[in-house]
């Protein structure tokens, strides 16, 4: 397995690999690669599921080539996850990323749940192909219950008045403005330039990822915040590795990989993000809280 050797990274738990011709488990071919390529948007690989039947839950290493398109890695990852494996550590010729964190438990809808604030869930869409790639960041807000942002429908929670939740300053005013005027359900995020990071070029040195780390730090995101990553189908695996390493370098937990996959784009972003620093993100959260904490 030259990719593991190139990274000086020993396998973690079970070894699941994508080679030039097949998917392998512990070095043995289990599924021809053409079965993924025939259905690139599927998230299920029956031959891999069969090979993992009876394998106890355990960490595993998912190894792929840097230029493998994301859809291949996604199909293998989601199939292995559904089979009970995890967490996953991702390994490519250009580096290592992970391990993935445990999937967050879904919050139950309970009458009388009272929020103490609002926090964002950030989404990172990774667009592009082998020639270039770029990141778009956005955030949706959720009520904070028991110290954690809970993904709950609006009818499942309420919260104290703005004066109690945000007693003073600009956050209080932002919350009150949300009560009066409402708030957007989604905001776009970026750094000082208005973009999340510069465009990553095939001939580049990977420094775009350090700019992404700077953006995430500037937004004030921390290990307690949830971040999702959704690469476009043809984004090379290398870009996923660079992006996820940028996330963890910023002090944010390894991102969640949803089953959905972003598709289609209008070209590189225009660098017009609405939110560009931690203060603005905090005010947007307070405004969203103000718009949604009251119930008729």
Chain segment 30-78, per-residue pLDDT in tens: 999 999 999 999 889 999 999 999 999 999 999 999 999 999 999 999 9
The whole-model pTM stands at 0.90
Q: Are 234 and 265 in contact (CB under 8 A)?
A: no
Give every residue of the chain whose pLDDT is below 50, as ranges: 1-10
Residue 109: its pLDDT value, please? 79
Residue-wise pLDDT tens digits, 141-152 = 999 988 888 888
Q: Are 33 and 18 in contact (CB under 8 A)?
A: yes
Residue 263: its pLDDT value, please? 82
Residue 102: its pLDDT value, please? 60
Closest CA relative to residue 256, chosen from 229, 223, 237, 235: 229
Closest CA relative to residue 52, chosen from 77, 27, 25, 23: 25
Residue 6: its pLDDT value, please? 32
Q: Are 150 and 261 in contact (CB under 8 A)?
A: no
Residue 37: its pLDDT value, please? 96
Residue 12: its pLDDT value, please? 63
Q: 170 in helix, strand or coil? A: helix
Give the pair of three-digit tokens for residue 260. Answer: 């959905």
Residue 1: its pLDDT value, please? 29
Sequence-distant (6+) residues with CB within 8 A of 67 are 130, 236, 237, 238
Other beta carbons less than 10 A from residue 263's beta carbon: 13
Residue 110: its pLDDT value, please? 66
Residue 168: its pLDDT value, please? 87
What is the C-alpha separation between 91 and 261, in angstroms, rounded? 21
CA distances from 103 to 100, 106, 145, 195, 227 (A): 9, 9, 18, 29, 12
Give the pair of three-digit tokens for residue 267. Answer: 């070209």
Residue 186: its pLDDT value, please? 94
Closest CA relative to residue 289, chosen from 182, 177, 175: 175
Residue 11: its pLDDT value, please? 52
């Amino acid at each position: 397995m030259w990719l593991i050797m190139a990274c000086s990274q020993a396998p973690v738990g079970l070894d699941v690999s994508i080679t030039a011709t097949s998917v392998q488990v512990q070095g043995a071919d289990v599924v021809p690669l053409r079965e993924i390529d025939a259905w690139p948007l599927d998230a299920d690989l029956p031959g891999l599921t069969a090979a993992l039947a009876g394998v106890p839950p355990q960490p595993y290493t998912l190894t792929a080539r840097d230029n493998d398109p994301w859809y291949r890695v996604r199909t293998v990852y989601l199939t292995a996850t559904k089979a009970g494996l995890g967490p996953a550590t991702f390994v490519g010729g250009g580096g290592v990323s992970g391990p993935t964190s445990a999937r967050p438990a879904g919050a139950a809808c309970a009458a009388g749940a009272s929020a103490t604030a609002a926090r964002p869930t950030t989404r990172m869409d990774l667009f592009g192909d082998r020639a270039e790639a770029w990141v778009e960041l956005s955030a949706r807000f959720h009520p904070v219950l028991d110290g954690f942002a809970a993904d709950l429908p609006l009818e499942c929670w309420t919260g104290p008045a703005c004066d109690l939740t945000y007693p003073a300053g600009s956050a209080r005013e932002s919350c009150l403005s949300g009560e009066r005027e409402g708030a957007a359900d989604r905001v776009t995020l970026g750094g000082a330039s208005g973009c999340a990071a510069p465009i990553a070029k095939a001939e580049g040195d990977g420094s775009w990822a350090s700019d992404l780390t700077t953006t995430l730090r500037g937004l004030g995101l921390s290990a307690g915040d949830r971040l999702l990553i959704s690469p476009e189908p043809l984004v090379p695996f290398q870009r996923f590795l660079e992006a996820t390493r940028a996330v963890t370098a910023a002090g944010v937990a390894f991102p969640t990989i949803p089953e959905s996959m972003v598709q289609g784009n209008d070209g590189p972003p225009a660098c017009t993000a609405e939110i560009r620093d931690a203060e603005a993100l905090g005010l947007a959260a307070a405004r969203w809280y103000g718009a949604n904490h009251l119930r008729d």
